Structure 1
Amino acid sequence: MKIAVYGPEFNERSHSAIAALFAYLGSKSAEVFVDAHFFNSILEHSSINIKANTLGTFTDLDDSFDLMISVGGDGTILRAITHVKDLDIPIVGINTGRLGFLATIKRDDIIGALDQIFEGKYRISKRSVLSVTTNQKESNFELDFALNEVTVSRKNTTSMISIETWLDDEYLNSYWADGLIISTPTGSTGYSMSCGGPVIMPESDSLVITPIAPHNLNARPLVISAKHKIRLNVSGREHEYLVSLDSRINSLDNSIGITIKKAAFDIKMIELKAGTFIQTLRKKLLWGADPRN
């Protein structure tokens, strides 16, 4: 098995998880390659003997890899998919962060979880991805896709912006708001949920349009079929607005419209028996818990 390991800058909080991961991988007949920045950070800031259990580093991936392991939080997984792109490499996350909707392996369950993966005792959860294009000939985005959401928001102003929204060729609404979130089912438990959007099961073929602090209270979150193309045109007091693809922020001129649609590829997330989406919802959102007891 050929494995890519990705992580952010090393911090002491993740020391035990990283040590356990590489000790385990070193005991298996696996080819292990580590993100170059993560590799150097571990060498510089820890005593973990990472060289003994790896074959090398990577800056880009190809389709020869069988698995990517992300070490961090959900944000780390969002950065990891920028390497995976459309290569069909399954991803699993070891959670050394906080909430952990995407990174579901706990620090104290790394060995058991990896045993399941090496034994093939898991399922693949296919997650929809959004692609973004502009009405310009050349793309304004270095990476033009997002796993969680695409967000349009105001820039350098406290005034609201107007976001003219079309579904395919049919006018939907002009949102007077701080911004607008277009979310996948995966992203429905993120920024969209914090702005009042619904939670959607990961493999639903749907998208959510969620306004951010709308001026009109009757502008509610809307669930639509993922077959639709969403076209947005922004106007306001400032000449530019912000477009965020997951955590990657771009600044666009108001004259540039964007189109958002479901991408032609999915991201494959590994789901273990003890880490299903419903179990994660119950744990993270305390569903079924009675605080009186």
Structure 2
Amino acid sequence: MQIALYSRGFITEEVDNVLLLLAELESHGITPIVFEPFYQTLKSHLPFEKELDTFSCASDLEGKIEFLISLGGDGTLLDTLSYVRDTNIPILGINFGRLGFLASIGKDEIPAMVQALLNRTYEVDKRSLLHLDANIPLFGDVPYALNEFTIHKKDTSAMVKIHTYLNGEFLNTYWADGLIVSTPTGSTGYSLSCGGPVVFPEAGSFVITPVAPHNLNVRPLVVPDNNIISFEVEGRSDQFICTLDSRMEIIDSAVQLAVRREEFTLSLLRLEDSNFLHTLRNKLLWGIDARNAIGNR
């Protein structure tokens, strides 16, 4: 079994947890491939008897690994999409961050996680992605996202007008600070903080959520993900921000944008005793109410 490890950086407080993970893998004869910048940082904190293999781009992993482990928060896990791409390599996230909605495996579950990989006693969730098409090159060769696509005003400029179409038919002009199109996975992210609904991961939909709209009667909208959603942007500023997950590009009003469902999916692994409802209750405190306590029934 070949496993890759990815992390954005290294937090000194996590030394013991990284050591635990490496020891668990080594005890089962597994030597991981480590993201090159992460490995260089690790070497200054941890003793390695021999050099480990490293990777720095997607081609270093294709056909060589069975799983990719993300060490960090949800943002770190989102980074891994740029390395896994359409290879269908399953990703699992150990939460070294704060919320850990996607990176849902706790640090105390590291031994159980390694055992689950060895025994194949895990669950695989197929998560849909969205794809961005534009009339100019944007986001290199990774024009897709797991969470969301956004158009946003730049800096402190005035609100923007975003003319939005479904399959070429006019939907609405959003006067707002920006607009979010999220996948079901992304519905619990930026969209949720802007008033969007929670959508189950297996739902075949997009959520269109305005950011600080200047229309009181404009609300988030759920549409089937077989729609192509296109945009024209206007504003007093000549430039706007366009994002896919945590990646950003600066565009102008001449850029034509459209999002659609990506042709491939992303595989997220979870332990058997964890599911979406469990994560909702424990991470977002869904339904927490003193009246729901067992002793009060």
Is the TM value for this pair above 0.5?
yes
In structure 1, the partner of 2:115 is: 115
Tell me whether 149-158 or 245-254 shows the greater mean CA deviation. Answer: 149-158
In structure 2, the partner of 1:3 is: 3
Shift, 1:135, TM fit: 2.1
Cα distance in 2 for partners of 1:165, 1:63 equals: 40
| Other structure's SS at 1:39 match | helix
Aligned length: 288
Q: Can you list the C-alpha shifts for 1:73-99, whole angstroms capped at 9, x where unaligned? A: 000001111100111000000001000
Q: Can you list the C-alpha shifts for 1:42-75, whole angstroms capped at 9, x where unaligned? A: 112x1x23455x7410112213311000000000
Shift, 1:116, TM fit: 1.3
Give percent identity, aligned residues only. 43
Shift, 1:221, TM fit: 0.4
Question: Does structure 2 conserve the Cα–Cα contact (< 8 Å) formed by 1:63 and 1:89?
Answer: no
Question: Does structure 2 conserve the Cα–Cα contact (< 8 Å) formed by 1:188 and 1:208?
Answer: yes
Question: Does structure 2 conserve the Cα–Cα contact (< 8 Å) formed by 1:157 and 1:238?
Answer: no
Question: Does structure 1 conserve the Cα–Cα contact (< 8 Å) formed by 2:208 and 2:222?
Answer: yes
Code of the aligned partner of 1:270: L
Shift, 1:156, TM fit: 3.6
Cα distance in 1 for partners of 2:105, 2:190 equals: 22
Taking a change above 3 Å as real, the CA distance of residues 254 and 262 of structure 1, as seen in their structure-2 partners, is same
Cα distance in 2 for partners of 1:135, 1:173 equals: 22
In structure 1, the partner of 2:185 is: 186
Cα distance in 2 for partners of 1:291, 1:50 equals: 50
Where do 1:95-244 residues align within 5 Å? 95-136=95-136, 139-142=137-140, 143-244=142-243
Cα distance in 1 for partners of 2:29, 2:203 equals: 37
Question: Does structure 2 conserve the Cα–Cα contact (< 8 Å) formed by 1:2 and 1:30?
Answer: yes
| Other structure's SS at 1:259 match | strand
Cα distance in 1 for partners of 2:161, 2:63 equals: 42
In structure 2, the partner of 1:67 is: 67
Shift, 1:16, TM fit: 1.9
Code of the aligned partner of 2:199: I
> Is there any run of 5+ residues in structure 1 with no aligned partner, and where?
none
Code of the aligned partner of 2:250: S
Shift, 1:31, TM fit: 4.2
What TM-score comes out, normalization by structure 2 length? 0.93
Cα distance in 1 for partners of 2:273, 2:73 equals: 18
Shift, 1:200, TM fit: 0.7
| Other structure's SS at 1:274 match | coil
Code of the aligned partner of 1:140: L
Tell me whether 94-103 or 14-23 shows the greater mean CA deviation. Answer: 14-23
Cα distance in 2 for partners of 1:85, 1:209 equals: 24
> Is there any run of 5+ residues in structure 2 with no aligned partner, and where?
none
Question: Does structure 1 conserve the Cα–Cα contact (< 8 Å) formed by 2:105 and 2:270?
Answer: no
In structure 2, the partner of 1:88 is: 88
Cα distance in 1 for partners of 2:49, 2:171 equals: 56
Tell me whether 22-31 or 238-247 shows the greater mean CA deviation. Answer: 22-31
Cα distance in 2 for partners of 1:269, 1:238 equals: 39
| Other structure's SS at 2:233 match | strand
Cα distance in 1 for partners of 2:251, 2:287 equals: 44
Code of the aligned partner of 1:92: L
In structure 2, the partner of 1:27 is: 27
| Other structure's SS at 1:100 match | coil
In structure 1, the partner of 2:285 is: 286
Shift, 1:30, TM fit: 2.6
Code of the aligned partner of 2:212: A
Question: Does structure 2 conserve the Cα–Cα contact (< 8 Å) formed by 1:165 and 1:233?
Answer: yes
What TM-score comes out, normalization by structure 1 length? 0.94
